[in-house]
């Protein structure tokens, strides 16, 4: 199969949108945190706990949407812990974030092993089914790619619209962005930087967890170890690539996912027979680093990112 | 709520809060053990017994601590300069790779010289591995956290590629592993008959060397200055970027020595599961040690003991071994909080 054939097939673009969906949730989550001034390195672990909590809920007999809610709640819980340590107490966002990733990941694995001590192959659930949107899904290629996805994918696009609207069209969004750029100015207006940042970290972490849940409840149908596999770190790179803007970050996620879908398909071509498969698997990580280098010069980093805010300190 | 600095923290304050943090993390883990339907005291006893209960267990703990001392030192040195090296895992594997490449090529050198060549090659490999992200940081302002993290995945895939290709052991029966080191390229045991190799001694020497560098040399002073306030350091005439590069070489080299020690001292060949996350665990080791090189030795032995003990405990009791990771992650978070409390008082208003 030729690259042109691949790029013109609807199934390729459908796969790209599917691969992008968990990244979109988690990238929006990280973007909200960073826009308020908090780097959330808990993202990788929070995606794991979301993937596990959502799947486990459905496995225990509850509905799929209950699973999404439980996943979100589990993420918010770890977000609350992250926020408490980094916002009012101003602890190192690097160390706390990595600690949260370790804690969330090992908690998920521990509970999984407790609940299912002796399973050799991971049990399955009935995941979200694709929901075809009439008429729109008949548009060649792009309609077929975008409008025949599971409800969680539609939700991911909805989250981008809501995030962009709230950040740029509401007083809350203005306050959030100021908390990440000039927290003293926010405090001067009588708003609480602590509350804004805490809220951003909690909501953002909830979204990351839904991104994780997408993996177990929509992309696949079971939970296995190492399934998040660095997607969280890639989302941090996507936030930088998207210059901290929801629309650009969405484009970045889609572009990235297209490359990922392409490398999977290229593995099956004559090229794939010549080149070791590990080279293809490296592409997403290499692309993320290249994206960081490319965008780092031009990016408008939130001015107070990673700087704890102490009231009364100038 | 406000944080108020404590001018001269008492010894009780400086030690009490960290001790309480460790105790509290054991309490949290005990709660999770209860959830598993096991007795926390019995479980804790089994962990202790598995870690230090016999001569075999204690040596196993020291063996497991060896790579953690190296990666812990690597992280401690880098974090001291606020250089966030999360890539010790990648540097570890590059170190192990260099060790295998030079240790299987029959250098034909007398005495311990092959080991010196291998160790030096490992250090260079690991140092170069961290040099890339640091140059990206100093030249382009690319955050080193993400680049070092992503490089962990790239390097592991690269090692996998080599193990299934040019580095594959023809005698490995299809298993992706490298050939074994030449016999003269192995680190000998410290005491004949006891399963503890010279890598442990090398780790202690490195800890001492890092302590001397940090306390007695200009570089140590510069590293601390850059970590505390890069702008002030630059103003004081310290070449900040050059200090970061030197820190990176030191940190990457130390992490690579962990790979050298594991291959040359313990395993004898390179496999994809050579490290159960030594690079990441090094972060916990360094933080629990408050980034102090001598503390790293103590905390590496403590962390290794928890892992070795939990492995043996989970075989006896029905508590998953992940309890060790939870205990250590909790200890890490509570420890950074405890350190804050040693220096600040929380006041209302």
DSSP codes of every residue in B191-218: STTSS-BHHHHHHHHHHHHHHHHHHHSH
Chain B hits for A110, CB-CB cut-off 8 Å, are 32, 320, 322-323, 325-326
What is the C-alpha to C-alpha distance for residues B287 and B64, in angstroms, rounded to an integer? 18
pLDDT at B192: 78
CATH of residue A86? 1.10.3470
Contact criterion met (CB < 8 Å) for A106 and B36: no
Contact criterion met (CB < 8 Å) for A106 and B140: no
Our CA-based measurement puts residue B139 at a distance from the nearest CA of chain A, in whole angstroms, of 10
Alpha helices in chain A (DSSP H): 3-7, 10-35, 43-59, 64-86, 93-115, 142-146, 151-169, 171-181, 183-188, 193-214, 231-241, 246-266, 270-274, 277-296
Question: Is B57 a domain residue?
Answer: no
What's the token pair of residue A127? 């995941």
Question: Is B59 a domain residue?
Answer: no
Asked if residues A142 and A8 have their Cβ atoms less than 8 Å apart, the reply is no
Q: How many residues does chain B have?
A: 349
Contact criterion met (CB < 8 Å) for B140 and A95: no
> What percentage of chain B carries pLDDT values higher than 70?
100
Strand boundaries in chain B, DSSP class E: 2-5, 344-347
The 10s digit of each residue's pLDDT in B270-314 is: 999 999 999 999 999 999 998 999 999 999 999 999 999 999 999
Q: Is B326 on the interface with A (CB under 8 A)?
A: yes
Q: Are strands B2-5 and B344-347 parallel, antiparallel or unpaired?
A: antiparallel
pLDDT at A119: 76
Asked if residues B77 and B250 have their Cβ atoms less than 8 Å apart, the reply is yes
* A247 phi/psi in degrees, rounded to 5: -65, -45
Asked if residues B65 and B289 have their Cβ atoms less than 8 Å apart, the reply is no
The 10s digit of each residue's pLDDT in A165-202 is: 999 999 999 999 999 999 999 999 999 999 999 999 99
The 10s digit of each residue's pLDDT in A107-118 is: 999 999 999 887
Of B36, B152, B332, the CB nearest to A99: B332
Mutate one of B24, B321, B329 to test the A interface: name it (highest A CB count within 10 A): B329
- Answer with the residue of higher pLDDT: B30 or A8: B30
Contact criterion met (CB < 8 Å) for B326 and A237: no
Mean pLDDT on B199-224: 96
What is the C-alpha to C-alpha distance for residues A297 and A176, in angstroms, rounded to an integer? 24
Question: Is B281 a domain residue?
Answer: yes
The 10s digit of each residue's pLDDT in A118-154 is: 777 889 999 999 998 888 888 887 888 888 899 999 9
User: A117-147 burial string, b = 16+ CB within 10 Å, else e?
Assistant: eeeeebeebebbeeeeeeeebeeeeebbbbb
Question: Is A313 a domain residue?
Answer: no
Residue A96 sits in which domain range? 3-115+153-296
Mean pLDDT on A50-55: 98
Contact criterion met (CB < 8 Å) for A110 and B320: yes
The 10s digit of each residue's pLDDT in A135-145 is: 888 888 788 88
Question: Is B50 a domain residue?
Answer: no
Half-sphere exposure of A263 (CA within 13 A, CB side): 19
Q: Decide if pLDDT at B243 tops 70.
A: yes
pLDDT at B105: 83
Mean pLDDT on B97-115: 87
What's the token pair of residue B317? 């009791």
Q: How confident is the model at residue A312 (pLDDT cuts 50, 70, 90)?
A: low
Question: Is B294 a domain residue?
Answer: no
Three-state secondary-structure class, residue A303: coil
The 10s digit of each residue's pLDDT in A254-279 is: 999 999 999 888 888 888 888 899 99
β partners of residue A148: A132
Chain A hits for B333, CB-CB cut-off 8 Å, are 81, 85, 96, 99-100, 103
Our CA-based measurement puts residue A125 at a distance from the nearest CA of chain B, in whole angstroms, of 24
Contact criterion met (CB < 8 Å) for B158 and A278: yes
Asked if residues B142 and A296 have their Cβ atoms less than 8 Å apart, the reply is yes
Question: Is B303 a domain residue?
Answer: no
Contact criterion met (CB < 8 Å) for A102 and B153: no
Question: Is A109 a domain residue?
Answer: yes
Distances (CA, A) of B329 to A9, A16, A177, B67, B142: 46, 35, 31, 19, 28
The 10s digit of each residue's pLDDT in B248-280 is: 999 999 999 999 999 999 999 999 999 999 999
How many structural domains comprise chain B? 1
Q: How confident is the model at residue A100 (pLDDT cuts 50, 70, 90)?
A: very high
What's the token pair of residue B285? 């080791």
Residue B166 sits in which domain range? 69-287
Say which residues have a Cβ less than 8 Å from residue A290's Cβ, sequence separation at least 6.
none
How many structural domains comprise chain A? 1
What is the C-alpha to C-alpha distance for residues B239 and B222, in angstroms, rounded to an integer? 9
Burial class (CB in 10 A: 0-12, 13-18, 19+), B116: exposed
Question: Is A252 a domain residue?
Answer: yes
Element (H or E) spanning A149, and its range?
A: strand A148-149
């Amino acid at each position: 199969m030729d690259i042109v054939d691949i790029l013109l097939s609807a199934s390729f673009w459908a796969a790209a949108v599917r691969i992008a969906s968990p990244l979109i949730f988690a990238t929006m989550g990280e973007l909200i945190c960073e826009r308020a001034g908090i780097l959330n390195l808990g993202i990788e672990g929070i995606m794991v706990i979301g993937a596990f909590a959502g799947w486990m809920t459905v496995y225990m007999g509850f509905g799929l949407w209950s699973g999404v809610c439980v996943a979100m709640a589990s993420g918010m819980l770890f977000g609350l812990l992250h926020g408490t340590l980094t916002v009012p107490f101003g602890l190192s966002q690097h160390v706390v974030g990595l600690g949260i990733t370790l804690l969330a990941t090992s908690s998920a694995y521990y509970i999984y092993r407790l609940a299912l001590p002796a399973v050799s192959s991971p049990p399955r659930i009935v995941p979200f089914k694709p929901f075809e949107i009439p008429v729109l899904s008949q548009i060649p290629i792009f309609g077929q790619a975008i409008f025949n996805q599971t409800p969680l994918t539609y939700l991911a696009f909805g989250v981008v619209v809501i995030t962009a609207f709230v950040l740029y069209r509401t007083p809350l969004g203005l306050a959030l962005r100021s908390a990440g750029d000039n927290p003293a100015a926010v405090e001067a207006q009588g708003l609480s930087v602590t509350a804004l940042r805490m809220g951003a970290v909690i909501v953002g972490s909830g979204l990351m967890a839904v991104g994780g849940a997408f993996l177990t409840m929509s992309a696949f149908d079971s939970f296995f170890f190492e399934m998040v596999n660095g997607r969280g770190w890639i989302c941090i790179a996507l936030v930088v690539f998207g210059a901290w803007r929801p629309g650009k970050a969405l484009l970045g996620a889609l572009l990235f996912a297209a490359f990922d879908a392409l490398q999977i398909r290229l593995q099956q071509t004559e090229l794939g027979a010549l080149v070791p498969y590990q080279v293809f698997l490296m592409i997403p990580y290499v692309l993320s680093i290249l994206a960081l280098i490319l965008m780092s010069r031009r990016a408008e980093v939130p001015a107070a990112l990673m700087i704890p805010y102490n009231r009364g300190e100038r | 709520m406000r944080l108020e600095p404590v001018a001269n923290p008492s010894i009780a304050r400086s030690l009490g809060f960290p001790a309480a943090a460790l105790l509290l993390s054991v309490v949290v883990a005990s709660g999770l053990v209860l959830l598993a339907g096991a007795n926390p005291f019995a479980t804790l006893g089994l962990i202790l017994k598995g870690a230090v209960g016999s001569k075999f267990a204690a040596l196993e703990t020291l063996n497991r601590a060896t790579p953690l001392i190296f990666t812990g030192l690597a992280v401690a040195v880098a974090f001291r300069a606020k250089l966030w090296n999360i890539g010790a895992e990648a540097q570890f594997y590059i170190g192990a790779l260099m060790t295998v490449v030079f240790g299987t090529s029959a250098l034909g050198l007398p005495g311990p010289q092959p080991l010196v060549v291998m160790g030096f090659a490992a250090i260079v490999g690991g140092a170069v591995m961290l040099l890339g992200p640091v140059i990206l940081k100093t030249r382009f302002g690319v955050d080193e956290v993400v680049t070092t993290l992503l490089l962990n995945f790239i390097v592991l895939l690269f090692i996998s590629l080599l193990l299934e290709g040019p580095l594959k052991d023809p005698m490995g029966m299809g298993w992706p592993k490298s050939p074994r080191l030449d016999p003269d390229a192995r680190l000998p045991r410290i005491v004949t008959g006891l399963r503890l190799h010279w890598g442990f001694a090398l780790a202690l020497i490195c800890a001492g060397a890092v302590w001397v560098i940090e306390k007695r040399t200009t570089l140590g002073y510069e590293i601390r200055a850059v970590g505390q306030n890069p702008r002030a350091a630059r103003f004081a005439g310290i070449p900040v970027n050059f200090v970061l590069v030197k820190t990176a070489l030191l940190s990457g080299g130390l992490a690579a020595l962990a790979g050298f020690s594991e291959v040359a001292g313990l395993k004898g060949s390179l496999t994809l599961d050579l490290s159960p996350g030594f690079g990441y665990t090094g972060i916990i080791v360094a933080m629990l040690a408050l980034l102090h090189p001598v503390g790293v030795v103590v905390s590496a032995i403590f962390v290794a003991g928890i892992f070795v003990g939990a492995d043996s405990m989970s075989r006896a009791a029905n508590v998953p071994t992940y309890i060790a990771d939870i205990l250590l992650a909790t200890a890490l978070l509570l420890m950074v909080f405890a350190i804050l409390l040693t220096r600040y008082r929380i006041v209302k208003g």
